[in-house]
Amino acid sequence: MCKDTDKSPILKFMNEEEIARVRKRMGRRWRLVFIGADERDKVKKVLGQLRISFIIIIIIIIIIIIIIIIVNYMIYNKNFSIFN
């Protein structure tokens, strides 16, 4: 039924056909799968909000990395001056 690498507790509630469909849609790339169990509209709303939250967190991390790069450049570049 499940491979040894599959560690999701939800897999015990899925049959082999459903697991095969999930694997096929995921492809060979590493993925994170969220499964919601409620009315379709509620699940879509909650998972949509979760997706937006992840995007915001990723953008914040990218901005922090850019700021760190700029500050390091300003600190370690002796010829750098804001007033030039």
56-74: per-residue pLDDT in tens?
A: 999 999 999 999 998 888 8
Q: How far apart are CA 3 and CA 18, in angstroms?
A: 14
pTM over 0.95, yes/no: no
Among 66, 82, 64, residue whose Cα is nearest residue 74? 82
| Separation of alpha carbons 25 and 40, rounded Å | 20
pLDDT tens sequence across 4-54: 556 778 888 888 898 888 888 887 776 777 888 899 999 999 999 999 999
Element (H, E) at 46: helix 40-76
Rounded CA separation 71/62 (Å): 14
Q: How far apart, in whole angstroms, are the C-alpha atoms of residue 35 and residue 9? A: 11
> Residue 2 is which amino acid?
C
